Amino acid sequence: MLEAIYLDGTEDTPKIVLDKANNAFEISGRSLPEDAAEFYEPILNWLEKYEGQENPKTNFMFKLEYFNTASSKLILDILSKLETIEGASVTWFYHEDDEDMEEAGEEFSELVDIPFDFKTY
């Protein structure tokens, strides 16, 4: 059984939920960890294991208020990994006043071949 990952968000790191049993996949909050590669490594490893035993549908939710450049590369790595997961889709949440976050989501959606759904909150 694939162990779920639950990390509470901090001022510098996002909340992470990777829970196959409850079909919950979410990255939310602020992402500016000191070492983005190290922070996101367990998430990429988890998705690696999830591939091949994935749920019929995997809707991955991004609800980020802010992320730095280093995080954006790793978000793209996560999205690239999702491309290899059957039935994966993304819901990209952004604050209705946050054009930067909306544009970031649109840019990501053009770089990967996964259905994206945009929602404001």
Over the stretch 7-48, which tens digit does the pLDDT of each residue have?
Answer: 999 999 999 999 999 999 999 999 999 999 999 999 999 999
The CATH topology of domain 5-120 is Transcription Regulator spoIIAA (3.30.750)
The pTM assigned to this predicted structure is 0.96
Quickly count: other Cβ atoms within 10 Å of residue 119's Cβ.
12
Q: Please say if the pLDDT value at position 1 is more than 90.
A: no
Over the stretch 83-100, which tens digit does the pLDDT of each residue have?
Answer: 999 999 999 999 999 999
What's the whole-number average pLDDT of the chain? 97
Taking each helix axis from N to C end, the angle separating 69-83 and 99-111, rounded to the nearest 10 degrees, works out to: 40
25-to-20, 34, 45, 74, 100 alpha-carbon distances in Å: 8, 23, 14, 16, 23
Over the stretch 46-86, which tens digit does the pLDDT of each residue have?
Answer: 999 999 999 999 999 999 999 999 999 999 999 999 999 99
Q: Please say if the pLDDT value at position 5 is more than 90.
A: yes
The per-residue pLDDT for 114 is: 97
